[in-house]
Structure 1
């Protein structure tokens, strides 16, 4: 009978921990042809931004992105919710509002029942409904591992597009969600996650980053990206490379999800955190006595993570207040940007 195994056991990885290592992805993307000939392409692949943006007219630009991955939990409905929330995050990170989605579905149909696959799709559709958009179609295949995600489309005014490359020296960095999703998901797969940790995992990964669509209205917001598979350090480094700046990240500044520190101290980690450090660790200045578990949290892959916002210092409180009004209770200032080579320093 189908569904005799845990959903996560059918996949070699889960959530944003499935992403290619940053160094591998950069090598692949460096081989992509230049898109400069397309004058209406406002955002392409040049700075590893969260989505493509195409100017439609003087008042509208189309945001287009896709995101999909393998299960991070066994509950099919929750897997669908997490994957959809993660996919829509890219639209919010560009300052836009989603308008519709298309489903991407790959399932081992000999091992999963139609009811289970239907529950995954229903979970994704429920998140899209909460975001006020339809799932208007999609594509499905029979695959070895279960895969689900969305193509997400959104709209933004061309003058209000938020890129990851426009940060300025003197900006402070705000992270809107707590870290530790990768640690919690690894503990879940090892059957070491307690009910409180599981609840925290679900709550964080299904919280839509809706605050992103309001950020363009704050003049001091210069750059935004969402923190996902490359961890806080990896996505900060992308922002630094785009802007040609150095980031100073305070080692203990980011909030941690409940139970994460104890699990990390006990050695729970994902393989992706190790791959992340191997990919970009040479661009991170770290104290010699930095504990491995603390480094792992800074490279921990965040499935459906928070927004990293570069904002002028005198408007940081406004951004924090907005985030907290929208339910992002863990929003924190985690560092700042200064003149210097594109790298990250841990302080």
Structure 2
């Protein structure tokens, strides 16, 4: 029997995240003073919704901790495992770090789907971790009505060279290391079973090279573009940095077939929620179709950098704060 994993989940990939506005309301009460005698200095926490937590530890290093898991974004379990692992590791790269060890997080409907499929997802995750030079050791599993997979990842970084979303400043260019449009293509895949090889290649590509190049270039401000879309993550970056982000819509790259999928009506609910969330804070000087693609919920997307690195197109710049956090022009 052939199983289509995407049919066993209400959403897919990072498009199944809790909407950003609702999430901020939930976690607002968690920010504030920490323990009286902490083990290490907290460098990055909850205050600005950055990609991971970072703590300065003995030996002159920063410890980076993150977790990410989601429902199937593609039908093939091996590809799903690869994508989920690359996506989880991305949070460490988005902070300028290097992943060291990860553990599996697996939720599985044991009476509905055979464990052979879960084993394939775990194999995909293991192979991606191995390519990243990251140990994958153990993990946790639960019986769940809906399949979910991902990783909890621990990494290290230079505490004085962290990439973070609150260190942007006016005059810096904005670069994007992967094309957009993954959400609409994944929505089309779920509805039609069409396979989009370029989308899978983008989602399984690690952000390690981009992160290393950013740190080497002296860049200090970055985030990765995942479930909240380019506009959502850019809004958080600009808000945390006290600047306005100007985006040249015509400079933004898209995966082949993304516009066609959008025009055919394959838009994840998460992408529409992203656009609704950022609309009050943005001046969107583009058509609704383009705005939706810019807000499209990405899974294992690229890095958004306040600076330039080889191979990454410049899609805009940071300017002094204006009336909106984001301005989209064409």
Q: Secondary structure in 2 aligned to 1:158?
A: coil
Kept after mapping to 1: 8 A contact 2:271/2:295:
yes
Kept after mapping to 1: 8 A contact 2:84/2:150:
yes
* Counterpart in the other structure of 2:317: 336
Kept after mapping to 1: 8 A contact 2:5/2:75:
yes
Q: Secondary structure in 2 aligned to 1:139?
A: strand
* Counterpart in the other structure of 1:138: 139
* Counterpart in the other structure of 2:327: 345
Counterpart mapping for 1:36-115 below 5 A: 38=38, 40-115=41-116
List alignment gaps of at least 5 residues for structure 1. Answer: 325-330
Kept after mapping to 2: 8 A contact 1:178/1:254:
yes
- Per-residue CA deviation, residues 215-261 of structure 1 (Å, 9 max, x unaligned), is 22222x13010000000000000101110100111122111101112
Matched, 1:307 2:303: yes
Kept after mapping to 1: 8 A contact 2:162/2:220:
no
Counterpart mapping for 1:189-268 below 5 A: 189-191=190-192, 193=194, 195=195, 198-210=196-208, 211-219=210-218, 221-268=219-266
Alpha-carbon distance in 1 for matches of 2:220, 2:44: 15
Q: Secondary structure in 2 aligned to 1:222?
A: coil
Kept after mapping to 2: 8 A contact 1:58/1:158:
no
* Counterpart in the other structure of 1:275: 273
Alpha-carbon distance in 2 for matches of 1:143, 1:133: 27
Q: Secondary structure in 1 aligned to 2:100?
A: strand
Kept after mapping to 1: 8 A contact 2:90/2:224:
yes
- How much has 1:214 moved relative to structure 2? 3.6
57-66 vs 178-187, which deviates more? 57-66
Alpha-carbon distance in 2 for matches of 1:29, 1:142: 26
* Counterpart in the other structure of 1:157: 158
- How much has 1:61 moved relative to structure 2? 0.9
- Per-residue CA deviation, residues 145-198 of structure 1 (Å, 9 max, x unaligned), is 0000000110111111111110010011000000000010011011173x5xx1
Q: Secondary structure in 2 aligned to 1:238?
A: helix
- How much has 1:114 moved relative to structure 2? 1.8
Kept after mapping to 1: 8 A contact 2:161/2:220:
no
* Counterpart in the other structure of 2:292: 296
Alpha-carbon distance in 1 for matches of 2:193, 2:118: 26
Query: Please, what TM-score do these two structures have when normalized by structure 2?
Result: 0.95
Alpha-carbon distance in 1 for matches of 2:193, 2:139: 36
Counterpart mapping for 1:23-38 below 5 A: 23-35=21-33, 38=38
Alpha-carbon distance in 2 for matches of 1:309, 1:33: 25
List alignment gaps of at least 5 residues for structure 2. Answer: none
- How much has 1:137 moved relative to structure 2? 1.3
Alpha-carbon distance in 1 for matches of 2:289, 2:267: 8
Kept after mapping to 2: 8 A contact 1:67/1:149:
yes
* Counterpart in the other structure of 2:14: 16
Kept after mapping to 1: 8 A contact 2:270/2:297:
yes
